[in-house]
Amino acid sequence: MNSSEIMVEVAYALPHEQLIVPVKVKAGITAEQAIQSSGILSKYPEIDLAVNKIGIFGKLTKLDVPLRHLDRVEIYRPLIADPKEVRKQRAADGKVMKKGGGDAALED
């Protein structure tokens, strides 16, 4: 690898599967170009970069952001349920959430 090339990763996760693709790219490449170069869009045609949000190491970012050596571009799926609504429903049902998630039995 010469000084005009960098290594990045492109990641996408489904509930029971995750894929992290290492990609050697030219320095100055954008997140969108790295995603295109990774081939992940052909493997997962449901990814729509106009809809799916992306981030670098868990921090939301835009497609035109230039990448640095060893960045990991993450493609996020839309949420199935709004976490705020789930908490409201649990509260309305009188359920208590135990540490680590899930429902705990109410103690008398």
Q: Which amino acid is at 44?
A: Y
Q: Is 95 domain-assigned?
A: no
CATH number at residue 62: 3.10.20.280
- Specify if 83 maps to a domain: no
Q: How many domains does the chain have?
A: 1
Q: What percent of the chain shows pLDDT beyond 90? A: 65
Is 35 within the bounds of a domain?
Answer: yes
* Residue 58: inside a domain: yes
Measured at the alpha carbon of residue 13, what is the angle toward residues 30 and 84, in degrees to the nearest 5? Answer: 100
97 is a domain residue: no
Concatenated DSSP letters of 18-83: EEEEEEEEETT-BHHHHHHHHTHHHH-TT--TTTS-EEETTEEE-TTPBP-TT-EEEEPPPPSS-H
51-102 pLDDT, tens digit per residue, is 999 999 999 999 999 999 999 999 998 877 677 777 877 887 876 666 665 5
Residue 19: give the domain boundaries: 5-75
Mean pLDDT of the chain: 86
> What would the mean pLDDT of 23-42 be, rounded to a whole number?
96
